[in-house]
Amino acid sequence: MALLTTTTTARFATITASAAVKQTMARKYSINSLQKPLRRQQQQNIRKSNNINMMQTKRRFISSSALTIEKTTDEGRFTSKPPKEKLQFGITLSDHMLTVEWNKEKGGWGDPKIAPTQNLSISPAASSLHYGLQCFEGMKAYRSLSNDNDDNDLLLFRPDLNMARLQNSMSRLSMPGSDFDSDELIKCIQELVRVDERWVPDGEGYSLYVRPTVVATHPFLGLAAPESLLLYVITSPVGPYYKTGFNPIRLTADTKYIRAWPGGTGDCKVGGKCGSHMVISCVVLLLQLSSIQIIKYIAIVIFSHHR
């Protein structure tokens, strides 16, 4: 089985970091040559500082070569998954997840790990829980439908653009470590898809949804840039997003409840942007219900509240 990208169709893009990102990285981590002679003690201090910077640089970037893999021995999750025709978006999780930690005291990004999917353990004071310091991406891996490729070929859809937006979202939230090497993280995600390749459903309209997420784990109730992060990637086999399948859908455009505004986070995928828009879903639901259905709905809400 091969995990591929292709440049022959408009549907799938090549996995490459943008030239601007690469140039920024090169400028930031190059050690400039000294322009004038320094005293011996000054030269020793510079060499010591450069050695520290080089150590931090090695830790700062996510490195796919340091990736470790722990495979699950429990077949229960896979054997109990529903058939692809009954998949509901975002409910069924695959066997494994990818995690990478960023820690200020340890000099930046740690080693990436693939391990069985499990719950997270973070402090109740973690700033992601109090100030919305979390962001995410939505990607997909597909089985190839082309006759030019082997049936087992897997394709990622424009992951380089997802990485660029993730970095932008992290920067918008003042998260450290947003200058990670996107190519290296993509390689780790590729390996995660390889490990869980049996979870990728075949057929047009079906895919393995890939959700990279970054949350601040810094246990601090003050409002400040976090000193520790957790980047994790989970996957989920999915079919059509809506319950109506691949049929046309009805949309409601609302001007009162908005989630993008000048100077806001409309160009980022942050949790607060999506969470603040949930109210319109309830409003639309009530508008679509008949009078009898509304009464039943209110009764259910009241009963649930007082139960």
Q: Are 132 and 272 contacting, i.e. CB atoms less than 8 angstroms apart?
A: yes
User: What's the gap between Cα 124 and its chain centre?
Assistant: 22
* CA 264 – CA 75 distance, rounded (Å): 44
DSSP 109: E
* CA 71 – CA 113 distance, rounded (Å): 11
Q: Which runs of consecutive H residues, i.e. helices, occur in the chain?
A: 19-29, 40-60, 76-79, 127-131, 159-172, 182-195, 271-275, 278-288, 291-306
Q: Are 63 and 112 contacting, i.e. CB atoms less than 8 angstroms apart?
A: yes
Any bridge partners for residue 302, and if so which?
none
Q: What are phi and psi of 140, to 5 degrees?
A: -140, 145
Q: Which runs of consecutive H residues, i.e. helices, occur in 61-198?
A: 76-79, 127-131, 159-172, 182-195
Residue type, 159: P
Catalytic, 84? Answer no
CA dihedral (220, 222, 227, 230) positive or negative: positive
Annotated catalytic residue: which of 81, 269, 273, 296? 269
Q: Are 152 and 2 contacting, i.e. CB atoms less than 8 angstroms apart?
A: yes
| Residues recognised as catalytic | 269
